[in-house]
Amino acid sequence: MERIVVVGTSGSGKTTLGRALGEVLEIPHLEMDSEFHREGWDSTPDDEFGEILREFAAQSTWVADGNYTSHGSREHLWPRADTFIWLDLPKRTIMRRVVARTLKRVVTREKLWGTVVEPWSNLYSTDPYKNLMLWAWQTYDHNREKYEKMIADGSWSHAEVYRLRTPAEVDSFVVGLRPDR
């Protein structure tokens, strides 16, 4: 495990796992959200984002978390990945996490990436690009179908694939990698 991509629906724990893997394996970690989202939730242009991903992927070891299949991850990270970890947790688990996390972030004005904070207006927005709870709900089924298809069609056949379906499986996976276990 030297070049790892962690995917899953928003709220599945991609960044938490990505950080843990980076720490345990002592390799660089990239949270794609932190490079993609800018002040006011504006997006990094695809050519600029692609360059960030390309430079990161050129390293000999890394872990990257995030989907961004239509923004360059599939082209720049996936061919170099030797491991894919799909966090395929139940929708109820993801929604519980997303709601709790979003409410906490809005109330505490937690800085997410740089100066980006989640505004109150995102809580009641009907735009899924702004309302993460709505985004997670609406993309859950699509993401499951997309990643099931990628496993079946061989998109990830060049790499080891782990499909983790419960928080306990995720925890066990990380513990299994610790050198002191």
Domain edges within the chain:
3-177
Mean pLDDT by 10 residues, the chain (181 residues): 96 95 96 86 88 96 92 89 97 96 89 79 84 93 95 94 97 88 58
Per-residue pLDDT at 181: 58
**Secondary structure tally for the chain: helices H, strands E:** 8, 7
pLDDT at 18: 97
At residue 38, the pLDDT reads 83
What pLDDT does residue 40 have? 72
Q: State the SS3 of 137-176.
A: HHHHHHHHHHHHHHHHCCCCCCCEEEEECCHHHHHHHHHH
CATH of 3-177, one of 3.90.1200.10, 3.50.4.10, 2.60.40.10, 3.40.50.300: 3.40.50.300
